[in-house]
Structure 1
Amino acid sequence: MQADTKNVVERVSQIIESQKDKFTAISDQIWEFAEVRFEEVESSECLASFMEEQDFHVERGVAEIPTAFTATSGTSGPVIAILGEFDALPSLSQKAGKTSKEPLKSEAPGHGCGHNLLGVGGIAAAVAVQTYMQEQGMEGTIRYYGCPAEESGYGKTYMVKAGLFEDVDAAFSWHPHYMNRLFNGPTLAVVHAHFTFKGQSSHAAASPELGRSALDAVELMNVGVNYMREHMPDEARVHYAITNTGGMSPNVVQPEAEVSYFVRAPQSAQARELFERVKNIAKGASLMTETTVEHRIEGACSNIVPNRVLDQLLHRNMIALEEDNFTDEEIRTSKAFYETLSDNEKQMAASLVGDQRAAELSKRPLIHEAAPYSEPRASSKGTGSTDVGDVSWVTPTAQLMAATEAFGTPLHTWQVVAQGQTSYAKKGMLYASKSIASTVINVLQTPDVLREAKEELHRQGAGAHQYDCLLPKEQMLPHMLCQ
């Protein structure tokens, strides 16, 4: 470990530990709010108000998103962004600490992706950098981005589209997981849209010839898209859900029906092309059924552009911060949650760490070490999507995963919600905070790093001039479209 790295890590750790009670309390509060995309009113205000108390300059409602905000400290030098999220998922309500599925309130939201930790972890990092810069008299600007609606709304895409990252020199983020590792693998670009068909209602027995079924159109569209799957890139994914069947009575021809689609592909251009094909299939279904069809885009995001320069620096700090400090009670709790997982879930997790380490983790399911550094391979396939991808197209970006859950816990499950207030989840959150804050300070201390990171971004054909937003130019927020 280099001397500077050691000194920075030690001081950052002291700063964050001195305020950890505040950070963990806010995380618990966000967990209680559990607000879904673009409705995170209390969560956003809680975080924004805290940043004002820390002497950050806060701008609310940025990018015309009521729950989006920025918090800035500093007025000179490089601008470094730290990203935070705080939205929950629908229908994942769960009692904290319970190792069986017990909703707090039926069908209510819950933090099944750990964003109550994610947003606060970014804030802790920003506060630590601010304190360190003031102590050392360093130049630089640290800006926290309060980003709503990562779960399908893709708030960051709207924020990038609005130009909020034009002056940013580098960006950092993290995400809860059951491992400590870089988040530098490929992701899929995605377009999310609803298709609404309208026909003509009639009595299905007395006058069927007068009816034009919107539900028939939805079914034909889905069949058409299923046939398209044979003729699209292997890595692409298209999934759908029928969100409105048009009624509960079989003897009434359904006058309106709706289906929601996610169209994913490794590159944004591929996702756009596939989405155009899906739109054409919808038009064909409309013609076949003599119905009308309209679509509205709910959100979209680009694929990730990794940055090896920043990744390597971030990983160095992750290694420096490794600490096996879990208590016996934390081990027992994590073991109880591990036992709720299916055999398939355990096997999938084991494939990431190897059989020997997996056997150890089955008895002590909390990871403290950072996975070895590895660069993304050209053959690697993306399995999910994130709006951090849009940020990574316009400025060098690095992110990590931090262990906040029992080994093997899959995201978007009640088990994640139940572990969201555990002491080991908060240790993982602060580990991410310390890793990011230390790396930001390293970047500010070493101007060559930013130059090299930007050169790498441009070598990959990315940058502000190359960014091609998947949202239409006139696109409004989904809730505004529905008004």
Structure 2
Amino acid sequence: MKNTERVWSIVEEKSPAFFALSDRVWDSPETNYQEFQSASEHARLLEAEGFRVERNVAGLPTAVTGEAGEGGPVIAILGEFDALPGLSQVAGLAEERPVVPGGNGHGCGHNLLGSGSMLAAAAVKDYLKANGLKGRVRYYGCPAEEGGSSKGFMVRAGAFDDVDIAISWHPAAFSGVNNPISLACNEINFHFSGRASHASATPHLGRSALDAVELMNVGVNYMREHMPSSARVHYAITDAGGDAPNVVQARATVRYLIRARSLPDLLGLIERVKKIAEGAALMTETTVRHEVISGDANLVGNGPLEARLHTCLERLGPAAFDAADLETARKFQATYTPDDIAASYARFGLTPRKGQPLCDMIYPLYGGDGSIVGSTDVGTVSWVVPTVQMRGATYAIGTPGHSWQLVAQGKLPAAHKGMAHAAKAMASLAIDLMSDHELVAAAKADHRSRLDGTPFVNPIPDDVDPPLPAGGAGSAEKGVQAL
């Protein structure tokens, strides 16, 4: 217990610098593979903390790692710092008001996620040094989680090959160990090509790519009745072929996001969607090609790691929010619907409590039924490294994900307290892993048993490149200047 309390104290001592980092990242929200300033801020603080820093990890100009320690197991702590488009919002204000109309905003709390993970890694670094312990802690600053699947590209490049255990967290309404359920997914463009013609004078000579897109969408919608209920399929027409209705559209593109509970289920569902696309092309005498944009594997759980992290959280207790935090949270709750609040409780398998604006508990291990899930590229890491993830309470109960309300709460004292709370729990687990080799061995054995007979197939094919900004790695410095 003394070891645990000491690493908690280190987190407390270091917190102000990392709260400031989180706020700076919040102030400069950047989206997929454009996070040049955020990555630079992370690299600078890693260097100031004495980590051995690597930039341009896996050829991604906004991916950065920092390692400290020698020998022993390699414990990775995963962070993110990408924002979302269209969610600009004034900090701390409980009414919708963008800072920049149409601008970006941290609607998933990744400003806190990356800073909190680095804070945990820095505390572990100092603890190892002070106690002369063997072991290496490595912070991963990962870009483009929101649809860019950077960790999948990093896995493919071997960035996790020497890692023994991976730990992560995510801002949430409640604190506890993540129920290890997510949906494997692929984002795929279907490009249809036809033949242009005058839509009135010679319509019979045209072959409409837009017709093919519409027929594909109809076919996929009919498929929904005949796919697993846990699967999800979403689409958006990204190129309708032009604005002129008197021209038969010679090109059109629809982007599909296909999700399933497991990698094998995903691969089977993708093949069905491809057949529907080919059928649509056949019916319209057009051609179609598909282009994978990104992909995430589903999360693979790990019993020993989840049980120990839950123990760490129970020792720690819930984050200590004060009366001012509660009052501010109530103002935000007033902007939610009853359904928002009920869904927040349901996600974690909890009974709704009236008048409770912030989390005051550690939710039960494996809470929730997994029916309200999305996708994450942490899932891809979990197939190659034993991985555990937790949720940390940083915002009011009922806050919708990817909303202006979540953005507005990203710099509040409650967010900082929740971030430090998560860092303490992750640092505690990392120290346990450094000193308990049997725990590491048990986690690896559990990991092997879960994947026995199910080979890993990265949902990002080898011939797919990450959608980097024009100029690739060489544009990183230019990106910083442009801000």
TM-score (norm 2): 0.93
8 Å CA contact retained: 1:308, 1:375: no
Q: Report the Cα offset of residue 462 of structure 1.
A: 5.5
- Give the AA of the match of 2:420: L
Counterparts of 1:188-337 in structure 2, within 5 Å, are 188-323=183-318, 325-337=320-332
8 Å CA contact retained: 1:71, 1:143: yes
Match of 1:32 in 2: 27
CA distance in 2, matches of 1:449, 1:270: 31
Match of 2:366 in 1: 374
1:192-219 Cα offsets, whole Å, 9 max, x none, are 1111222223332222223222211110
1:322-381 Cα offsets, whole Å, 9 max, x none, are 2563232221110010111112112223435788752141xxx0113211223787xx44
Counterparts of 1:456-475 in structure 2, within 5 Å, are 456-461=446-451, 466-475=455-464
CA distance in 1, matches of 2:347, 2:280: 43
Q: Report the Cα offset of residue 321 of structure 1.
A: 1.6
- Greater displacement, 428-437 / 205-214: 205-214
Counterpart among 68, 74, 89 of residue 69 in structure 2 = 74
Q: Report the Cα offset of residue 11 of structure 1.
A: 1.2
Q: Report the Cα offset of residue 71 of structure 1.
A: 1.0
Aligned length in residues: 472
8 Å CA contact retained: 2:196, 2:208: yes
- Give the AA of the match of 1:454: K
From the superposition, tell whether residues 350 and 127 of structure 1 become closer, same or farther in structure 2 (CA, over 3 Å): closer
Identity %: 46
1:34-74 Cα offsets, whole Å, 9 max, x none, are 11111111111110121011111111111111111211112
- Greater displacement, 144-153 / 117-126: 144-153
Counterpart among 132, 156, 161 of residue 127 in structure 2 = 132
1:119-165 Cα offsets, whole Å, 9 max, x none, are 00000000000000000000001111111111111111111111111
8 Å CA contact retained: 2:88, 2:105: yes
1:358 match: secondary structure: coil
Is 2:428 aligned against 1:433? no
Q: Report the Cα offset of residue 266 of structure 1.
A: 0.9
Counterpart among 126, 138, 141 of residue 136 in structure 2 = 141
Is 2:408 aligned against 1:418? yes
- Give the AA of the match of 1:313: R
Counterpart among 92, 97, 113 of residue 92 in structure 2 = 97
- Give the AA of the match of 1:237: R
1:9 match: secondary structure: helix
Q: Cα RMSD (Å) of the superposition? A: 2.0
CA distance in 2, matches of 1:327, 1:301: 38
Counterpart among 407, 425, 438 of residue 448 in structure 1 = 438
CA distance in 1, matches of 2:125, 2:462: 36
CA distance in 2, matches of 1:351, 1:394: 30
From the superposition, tell whether residues 28 and 166 of structure 1 become closer, same or farther in structure 2 (CA, over 3 Å): same
Q: Report the Cα offset of residue 13 of structure 1.
A: 2.0
Q: Which runs of 5+ in 1 are unaligned?
A: 1-5
Match of 1:3 in 2: none
CA distance in 2, matches of 1:136, 1:202: 76
CA distance in 2, matches of 1:471, 1:356: 39
Match of 2:59 in 1: 64
Q: Report the Cα offset of residue 100 of structure 1.
A: 1.5
From the superposition, tell whether residues 190 and 212 of structure 1 become closer, same or farther in structure 2 (CA, over 3 Å): same
8 Å CA contact retained: 1:244, 1:257: yes
Counterpart among 358, 378, 388 of residue 378 in structure 2 = 388
CA distance in 2, matches of 1:469, 1:60: 23
Match of 1:170 in 2: 165
8 Å CA contact retained: 1:203, 1:251: yes
CA distance in 2, matches of 1:118, 1:212: 49
8 Å CA contact retained: 1:237, 1:265: yes
CA distance in 1, matches of 2:359, 2:310: 16
2:451 match: secondary structure: coil
From the superposition, tell whether residues 274 and 324 of structure 1 become closer, same or farther in structure 2 (CA, over 3 Å): closer
CA distance in 2, matches of 1:480, 1:415: 29
8 Å CA contact retained: 1:185, 1:376: no
From the superposition, tell whether residues 353 and 204 of structure 1 become closer, same or farther in structure 2 (CA, over 3 Å): closer
- Give the AA of the match of 1:386: T
Q: Which runs of 5+ in 2 are unaligned?
A: 473-483
CA distance in 2, matches of 1:284, 1:355: 45
CA distance in 2, matches of 1:136, 1:357: 44
Counterpart among 8, 20, 23 of residue 3 in structure 2 = 8
